[in-house]
């Protein structure tokens, strides 16, 4: 195995959960998120030799992930699959298992169910946002990136990032009022 | 944003708390393997595309072949390759001189000293076309043939060169014929002016005995001969005691 492939494997292992979570929050579907995250790392592999280190590796990977998610969300196939799945149904994997989440093992089953329900409501609200606002709000409020990193990952300037984030938050706060 | 709007929204700190508490969805355990499989699959597909669009080492000969084929096509359309086709587009007069006949037949007859008539030439012309270079050789052979017949007449074979005034009488036959008639009239050629380049006669002076001049003149009036010559008397005093007519015959 070459040095490049070892580095790539390390890269995947280091960033796969963040990228997967971003894809899941963006697309709202576990299967789509899995496919989209894989596609992201295939693109990373193919572009690795052209990476000029103008930004950090994680920002670069996020940027590829955001673009891949936007393309996927705009595809006709994705829209058809979204129409077939009701958003209030619990999201399951192909074999019927629930997607694994990093939860608090000490929570009681009742609290765990409540937390899961809240999560689904928030996800539904995120799904309703336009793509640009969605990517900004996920990167900032879910992933915790800085404005500069978000600007690097989305290709927007920091001022635009802030304004889009402000509008996205207002929209989400309106939608989540009284639900959560 | 006024107070009414704020009342309709979730408090910001509550919002941030909810968002940050969203569960993190983990990638499957076999995620790396799936990515690797996908990369291998892609690489194989790329290899297939490369194979379809021909690798570099084969591409160059293909390009050369394409250029060669194009050049051949252009050359064939311009008739550069086949000179015989150029003949077909040549002016009519050129074709007439170029299309002579079978070279072997012609040469063999020339070498035998056989007489070539116009009929034979026409026959040869119909039998096969020859390229322009071949035609040039034929013209040279024709010239040699003329010289040969002149030699025959001069060497006493004038009878065989009797023109007979047939339609197969050429310009080249004129000089030997006149020479024969002069000899027959017991006359003599006193001077021949020839073309320095071709060696053919431009005009010649002759002396004909008066007694034979009328019969000689009649023979010269034959259209087969007269169309090629112009006879003028030479205005100089005849030698004493000799009954002769001095004439100059121009080849036209």
- Tell me if B81 is assigned to some domain: yes
Q: Are residues B173 and B233 in the same domain?
A: yes
Q: Are residues B187 and B149 in the same domain?
A: no
Q: Are residues B174 and B217 in the same domain?
A: yes
- How many structural domains compose chain B? 2
Q: Are residues B135 and B169 in the same domain?
A: no
- b/e map of B166-196 (b: 16 or more CB within 10 Å)? eebbbebbbbbbbbbbbeebebebeeeeeee
In which element (H, E) is residue B248 found? strand B244-251
Q: Which residue of A has its CA nearest to B40?
A: A42
- B20/A176 Cα distance (integer angstroms): 14
Q: Which of A92, A91, A119, A113 is CA-nearest to residue A179?
A: A119
Q: Quick check: B24 and A13 CB within 8 A?
A: no
pLDDT for the residue A112: 73
Domain boundaries, position B208: 162-252
Q: Is the ipTM of this complex over 0.85?
A: no
Contacts of A102 in chain B (CB under 8 A): 23-24, 26
From B45's Cα to the closest Cα of chain A, the distance in A is: 13
- B222/B206 Cα distance (integer angstroms): 18
> pLDDT tens across A108-132, in order?
777 777 777 888 889 999 999 999 9
pLDDT for the residue B57: 54
Q: Among the three residues B156, B191, B206, which one is the final residue of a domain in this structure?
A: B156
Given 3-state DSSP classes, what are the helix, strand and coil percentages for chain A, each rounded to the nearest 5?
75, 0, 25
pLDDT for the residue B199: 77
- Tell me if B33 is assigned to some domain: no
- Tell me if B113 is assigned to some domain: yes
Mean pLDDT across A100-115: 65
Are B125 and B119 contacting, i.e. CB atoms less than 8 angstroms apart? no
Q: Are residues B180 and B249 in the same domain?
A: yes
Q: Are residues B214 and B229 in the same domain?
A: yes
pLDDT digit of tens for each residue in chain B (252 aa)? 566 666 778 888 888 888 888 888 999 999 999 999 988 887 777 777 766 765 555 556 778 888 999 999 998 887 655 555 444 444 444 434 333 444 444 445 444 444 444 444 434 433 444 455 555 666 666 666 655 555 554 444 444 444 444 455 667 778 888 888 888 988 888 888 888 877 777 888 888 888 888 888 888 888 888 888 888 877 555 556 668 888 888 888
Q: Quick check: B24 and A30 CB within 8 A?
A: no
Q: Among the three residues B156, B177, B197, which one is the final residue of a domain in this structure?
A: B156
CATH code of the domain in which B247 resides: 3.90.1150
Q: Are residues B86 and B134 in the same domain?
A: yes
Q: Quick check: B25 and A170 CB within 8 A?
A: no
Q: Which residue of B has its CA nearest to A178?
A: B10
Q: Among the three residues B132, B156, B180, which one is the final residue of a domain in this structure?
A: B156
Cross-chain CB nearest to B8 (options A9, A33, A174): A174
In this structure, the strands spanning B229-233 and B201-209 are unpaired
Q: Tell me, which fold does domain A3-176 have in CATH?
A: Rna Polymerase Sigma Factor; Chain: A (1.10.1740)
Contacts of B22 in chain A (CB under 8 A): 25, 119, 122-123, 142
- Tell me if B221 is assigned to some domain: yes
- Tell me if B194 is assigned to some domain: yes
Q: Are residues B228 and B176 in the same domain?
A: yes
Q: Quick check: B27 and A170 CB within 8 A?
A: no
From B59's Cα to the closest Cα of chain A, the distance in A is: 25
Q: Which residue of A has its CA nearest to B39?
A: A42
């Amino acid at each position: 195995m070459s040095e490049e492939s070892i580095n790539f494997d390390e890269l995947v292992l280091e960033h796969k959960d963040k990228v997967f979570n971003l894809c899941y929050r963006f697309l709202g579907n576990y299967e789509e998120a899995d496919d989209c995250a894989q596609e992201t790392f295939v693109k990373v592999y193919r572009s690795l030799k052209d990476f000029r280190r103008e930004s950090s590796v994680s920002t670069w990977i996020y940027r590829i992930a955001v673009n891949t998610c936007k393309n996927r969300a705009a595809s006709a196939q994705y829209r058809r699959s979204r129409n077939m799945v009701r958003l209030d149904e619990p999201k399951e994997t192909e074999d019927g298992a629930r997607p694994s989440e990093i939860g608090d093992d000490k929570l009681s089953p009742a609290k765990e169910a409540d937390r899961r329900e809240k999560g689904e409501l928030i996800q539904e609200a995120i799904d309703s946002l336009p793509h640009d606002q969605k990517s900004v709000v996920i990167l900032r409020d879910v992933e915790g990136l800085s404005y500069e990193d978000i600007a690097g990952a989305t290709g927007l300037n920091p001022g635009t990032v802030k304004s889009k984030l402000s509008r996205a938050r207002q929209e989400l706060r309106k939608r989540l009022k009284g639900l959560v | 944003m006024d107070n009414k709007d704020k009342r309709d929204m979730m408090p910001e700190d509550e919002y941030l708390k909810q968002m940050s508490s969203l569960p993190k969805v983990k990638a499957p355990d076999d995620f790396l393997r799936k990515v690797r499989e996908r990369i291998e699959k892609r690489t194989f597909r790329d290899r297939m595309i490369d194979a379809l669009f021909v690798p570099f080492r084969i591409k160059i000969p293909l390009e050369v072949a394409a250029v060669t084929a194009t050049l051949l096509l252009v050359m064939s359309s311009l008739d550069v390759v086949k000179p015989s086709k150029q003949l077909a587009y040549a002016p009519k007069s050129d074709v007439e001189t170029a299309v002579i006949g079978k070279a072997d037949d012609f040469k063999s007859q020339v070498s035998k000293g056989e007489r070539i008539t116009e009929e034979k030439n026409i026959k040869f012309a119909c039998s096969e076309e020859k390229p322009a270079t071949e035609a040039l050789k034929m013209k040279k052979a024709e010239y040699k043939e003329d010289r040969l017949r002149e030699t025959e007449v001069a060497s006493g074979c004038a009878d065989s060169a009797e023109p007979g005034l047939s339609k197969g009488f050429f310009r080249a036959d004129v000089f030997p014929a006149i020479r024969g008639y002069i000899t027959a009239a017991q006359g003599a050629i006193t001077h021949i002016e020839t073309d320095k380049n071709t060696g053919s006669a431009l005009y010649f002076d002759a002396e004909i005995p008066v007694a034979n001049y009328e019969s000689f003149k009649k023979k010269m009036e034959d259209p087969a001969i007269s169309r090629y010559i112009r006879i003028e008397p030479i205005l100089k005093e005849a030698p004493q005691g000799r009954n002769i007519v001095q004439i100059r015959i121009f080849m036209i």
